[in-house]
């Protein structure tokens, strides 16, 4: 096998078969990579040394009031306007139907003037009917972590640092839930951002907001502690680096991934191409040592992580054990003469030996060694979602596509018990996505068409009764109910990673797989399930702080070690 140092080419045969990758269990195992949006944004912030500072901090002793951060990039100025509350624990449900939050905020272009703050204060609480302006990129909401925020403030007010081991169980002080942008509520449309716009990549505006929440949570903790005691300490820089921003996501992500097949394909394809390139590189000794370093860092991080993974994720200890074995195996493979590149052999071994989660983590760490194989791929992750029917296609061709690309859907047994247990719908209550049980619960008539496999089967049954030479236009004239699924099939025809091979109607369907997949694409590092349909997690643990950006931060910040003074702080 040839080794590949050409970062612009790859062997298409090295890309994984969608029959493997697009299984829900496999997608649930994906980990953040260099191509995750949080990391791409942070790379840009570091490279361009963005200047982030609080320019308004009007808070009372409980931390209630208004705060503004300004973000200066080489091209533009942005502001993050915050309305800080103290809602109390009972209100912190994280569900979008909640009526009270610890903060509402918006990210806008230009300055968050007092007039804009006043206007948005009236609008932000109204999830459905509230109105942003077209220079606002994101609305967001967040809650203080009742456990960790309180602990940190108490410790600081007493004049010492918090217990890092305790804080590490969550890894954050504030937890965001919900980002409204790209035209929602009148916010700025993604398409309107020109080529030089600093946030003109998918999810950059959201990920900047996530990071800003992290900074705000630290400043808020310092402020509340300082108001409580003149002798209060301020949160140590190393602890700030070690912690991140919490995030809570639910079943709405299932709708999202099903409704955006082109985006899903482009994001997964970029990752797979990068991996295919990296695996065929014959590593230098320096690259091997670099891999060893990231491997050991991740191993320690997973060893330290005490989050309860319940039955849905592999235990952190098991992952850490796998990484330890990987290092040993790498050294063994180095000594064995072989024509196949080391990384290819190591990945094949991992595929045979490990659970999918550990294997995918290994893939992620391998990409950490080769930023150059990811660099050009970032551009391929912004794609058009344009779709249209191809009316001149013959029924025979369409049927052929269905039987080749959607055999997985045709194989779903809808006569099996529980195969159609659920229906999916949205409530008028903040448009919260919900599940109902078919035949038992009301509102089936409001069901959303997330049932791709069932639609494909019904389409296929009718296609087979038609003349193969007839056009799709003629077919759709008689069967307008299939226009949506036909358009989808024709649009994603050549996109191998567009369809997740799952039946969301099934009693055994676990939404967690979809949620974990998208969170990995966003760039979440730590994930811990609250239930099979609700995942909490942490972004940006280890990422630079504003002062680090100004002084030139290291571009690799993943899997941070606990601060060296953790033991001493615990004893305080």
Of residues 189 and 306, the one with the C-beta less far from another protein: 189
> Roughly what angle, to the nearest 10 degrees, separates helices 356-369 and 261-279?
70
Q: Which residue has the tokens 């502690």?
A: 225
CA 72/CA 43 separation, integer angstroms? 15
262 lines the binding site for another protein (CB under 8 A): no
> What separation in angstroms does the CA of 512 have from each of 24, 30, 434?
9, 12, 14
CB 324 within 8 A of CB 299: yes
We find the least distance from the C-beta atom of residue 419 to another protein, in angstroms, to be 16
End-to-end CA, the chain: 58
61 lines the binding site for another protein (CB under 8 A): no
Binds another protein (CB under 8 A): choice among 195, 285, 439, 480: 480
Token pair listed for 567:
């033991």
Of residues 128 and 570, the one with the C-beta less far from another protein: 128
397 lines the binding site for another protein (CB under 8 A): no
Of residues 87 and 303, the one with the C-beta less far from another protein: 87
Of residues 64 and 184, the one with the C-beta less far from another protein: 184
Of residues 249 and 364, the one with the C-beta less far from another protein: 249
483 lines the binding site for another protein (CB under 8 A): yes
Of residues 56 and 95, the one with the C-beta less far from another protein: 95
> Which long-range contacts (C-beta less than 8 Å, at least 24 apart) are formed by 95-100?
95/177, 95/250, 95/432, 96/127, 96/177, 96/178, 96/252, 96/430, 96/431, 96/432, 97/427, 97/429, 97/430, 97/432, 99/125
Binding span for another protein by CB under 8 A among 300-308, 334-342, 364-372, 483-491 = 483-491
CA gyration radius, the chain: 25
Closest C-alpha among 144, 156, 146, 129 to residue 64: 144
87 lines the binding site for another protein (CB under 8 A): no
We find the least distance from the C-beta atom of residue 210 to another protein, in angstroms, to be 22
389 lines the binding site for another protein (CB under 8 A): yes
513 lines the binding site for another protein (CB under 8 A): no
Binds another protein (CB under 8 A): choice among 129, 230, 379, 508: 129
Binds another protein (CB under 8 A): choice among 189, 308, 327, 567: 189
Of residues 198 and 250, the one with the C-beta less far from another protein: 250
Binding span for another protein by CB under 8 A among 63-71, 229-237, 457-465, 479-487 = 479-487
Binds another protein (CB under 8 A): choice among 111, 147, 426, 550: 426
We find the least distance from the C-beta atom of residue 389 to another protein, in angstroms, to be 6
Binds another protein (CB under 8 A): choice among 121, 166, 414, 446: 446
CB 436 within 8 A of CB 422: yes
3 state DSSP class of 443:
coil
CA 227/CA 221 separation, integer angstroms? 10
Binding span for another protein by CB under 8 A among 124-132, 201-209, 340-348, 357-365 = 124-132
Query: Which residues on adjacent β-strands are paired with residue 527?
Result: 537
CB 386 within 8 A of CB 394: no
556 lines the binding site for another protein (CB under 8 A): no
We find the least distance from the C-beta atom of residue 129 to another protein, in angstroms, to be 7
Token pair listed for 255:
């709708």
184 lines the binding site for another protein (CB under 8 A): yes
Binds another protein (CB under 8 A): choice among 4, 182, 541, 566: 182
How do 172-181 and 244-249 pair as beta strands? parallel
Cβ neighbourhood burial of 226 (10 Å; 0-12, 13-18, 19+): middle
Residues that bind another protein (CB under 8 A): 95, 97, 128-129, 131, 133-134, 182-184, 186-189, 191-192, 250-251, 388-389, 391-392, 425-429, 431-437, 441-443, 446, 449, 471-474, 476-477, 480-487, 511, 530-534
């Amino acid at each position: 096998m040839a080794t590949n140092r050409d970062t612009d080419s790859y062997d298409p045969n090295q890309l994984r078969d969608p029959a493997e990758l697009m299984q829900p269990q496999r997608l649930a195992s994906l980990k953040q990579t260099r191509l995750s949006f949080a990391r791409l944004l942070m790379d840009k912030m570091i490279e361009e040394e963005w200047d982030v500072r609080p320019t308004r901090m009007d808070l009372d002793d409980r931390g209630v009031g208004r705060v503004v951060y300004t973000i200066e990039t080489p091209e533009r100025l942005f502001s993050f306007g915050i309305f800080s509350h103290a809602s109390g624990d009972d209100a912190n449900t994280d569900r979008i139907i909640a009526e009270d939050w610890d903060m509402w905020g918006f990210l806008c272009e230009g300055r968050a003037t007092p007039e804009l703050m006043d206007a948005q204060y009236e609008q932000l609480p109204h999830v459905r009917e509230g109105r942003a302006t077209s220079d606002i990129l994101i609305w967001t909401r967040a809650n203080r972590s009742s456990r960790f925020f309180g602990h940190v403030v108490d410790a600081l007010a007493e004049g010492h640092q918090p217990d890092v081991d305790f804080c590490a169980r969550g890894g954050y002080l504030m937890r965001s839930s919900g980002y409204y942008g790209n035209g929602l509520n009148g916010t700025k449309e993604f398409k309107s951002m020109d080529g030089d716009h600093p946030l003109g990549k998918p999810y950059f505006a959201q990920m900047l907001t996530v990071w800003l929440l992290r900074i705000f949570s630290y400043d808020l903790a310092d402020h509340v502690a300082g108001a409580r005691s003149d002798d209060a300490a301020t949160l140590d820089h190393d602890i700030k680096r070690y912690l991140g921003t919490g995030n809570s996501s639910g079943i709405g992500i299932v709708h999202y991934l099903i409704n955006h097949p082109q985006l899903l394909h482009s994001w997964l394809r970029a990752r797979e191409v990068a991996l295919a390139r990296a695996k065929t590189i014959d590593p230098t000794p320096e690259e091997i040592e670099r891999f060893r370093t990231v491997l050991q860092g991740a191993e320690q991080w997973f060893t330290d992580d005490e989050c309860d993974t319940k039955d849905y994720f592999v235990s952190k200890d098991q992952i850490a054990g796998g990484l330890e074995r990987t290092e040993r195996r790498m050294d063994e493979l180095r000594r064995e003469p072989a024509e196949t590149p080391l990384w290819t052999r190591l990945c094949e071994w991992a595929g045979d030996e490990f659970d999918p989660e550990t294997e995918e983590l290994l893939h992620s760490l391998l990409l950490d060694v080769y930023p150059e194989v990811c660099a050009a791929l970032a551009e391929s992750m912004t794609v058009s979602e344009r779709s249209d029917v191809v009316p001149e296609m013959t029924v025979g061709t369409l049927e052929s596509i269905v039987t080749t690309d959607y055999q997985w859907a045709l194989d779903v047994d809808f006569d099996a018990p529980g195969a159609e247990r659920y229906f999916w719908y949205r409530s008028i209550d903040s448009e919260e996505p919900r599940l109902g049980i078919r035949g038992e619960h009301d509102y089936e008539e409001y069901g959303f068409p997330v049932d791709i496999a069932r639609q494909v089967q019904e389409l296929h049954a009718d296609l087979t009764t038609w003349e193969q030479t007839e056009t799709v236009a003629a077919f759709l004239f008689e069967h307008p109910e299939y226009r949506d699924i036909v358009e989808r099939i024709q649009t994603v025809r050549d996109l191998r990673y567009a369809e997740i091979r799952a039946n969301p109607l099934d009693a055994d369907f676990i939404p967690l797989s979809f949620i974990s997949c998208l969170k990995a694409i966003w760039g979440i590092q730590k994930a811990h399930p609250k239930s099979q349909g609700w995942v909490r997690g942490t972004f940006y643990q280890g990422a630079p702080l504003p002062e680090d950006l100004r002084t030139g931060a290291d571009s690799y910040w993943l899997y941070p070690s606990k601060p060296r003074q953790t033991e001493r702080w615990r004893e305080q």
